[in-house]
Amino acid sequence: MIQRRQHDGERANADPRPAQPDTLQPLLQRNANAYNGDTPIHSAFLVDASGEEGWFTVSDEARGRRYQVKRAASCLLMPNAGDKVLVSGDAAGGLYIIAVLEQRAQGRSTLHVDGELALSADVLSLTGASRVSVAAETFALQARSGAVSTADWTLKTHSCTLVSADLSVSAITAKYTGDHRESYYQSVRETTGQSTRYVTGTDTVKAVNLDYAADFIARLSGNTTFINGETLVKADGKQILVG
């Protein structure tokens, strides 16, 4: 019985299986702060500078880490130098700024996306406490109906074209000022309570037929007055006074 136990111990000591390599030793010798790509990162960093093509340089001086990262598509707020950002990812998928935690420069924020941006909502409101500015190379606004309500309105443009099938303009006081004005209409009809026009130069009216009528008094006066008719000049009235 004692001999059998000795033989079993000898077989156990003479195990033919090769020894397993120590896999923990390389991990223990690895620098904890060195980013080698297989360690996920999810911590806060400071933005040192922004490079070309959307790359940013972030650093963590307390841990001695410094990386080149990109801004995630979901991070619409553009990071600036000195901002505190949240960086997440690894070497396989890349390191990305997923959020801006704190801004160094307060009072101004920039939302930026690459390509086109579409905002969709049942009701969309845009409010600015002091001002709302829109700047673009080309501006287009399309709606089934629209309304603009403002206390003061100023429109400045180099060239303006207004096209409408039906146009109505209402104002208590309307003023038009310019160096030159031209109007082209198929027909014109005006109704005024009182009309006064002062022309500093020459007032010229050319028409195929000219008809002026007054219910009470019609007066034509001038320092020198000419009435010319190539074929006929006719004056008709119950009384005709000359001189």
Q: Given CA atoms 168, 171, 173, 176 in this order, what sign does their dihedral have?
A: negative
Cβ neighbors of 88 (< 8 A, separation 6 or more) are: 40, 41, 42, 95, 96, 98
Torsion of CA 150, 156, 157, 163, to 10 degrees: 30
| Secondary structure class of 98 (helix, strand, coil) | strand
Structure tokens of 180? Answer: 């030159």
Per-residue tokens: 47: 């933005």
Is the pTM higher than 0.75? The answer reads no
All domains in the chain, ordered by first residue: 46-105 (2.40.50)
Q: What is the pLDDT along the chain (243 residues), one digit of tens a residue?
A: 445 555 555 554 555 555 555 655 554 444 444 455 567 889 999 999 887 778 999 999 888 888 999 999 899 999 999 999 999 998 678 899 999 999 988 888 888 888 888 999 999 999 988 999 999 999 899 999 999 999 998 989 999 999 999 999 999 999 999 999 999 999 999 999 999 999 999 999 999 999 999 999 999 899 999 999 989 999 888 998 887
Q: State in Å, rounded, how far the first CA of the chain is from the last one.
A: 167
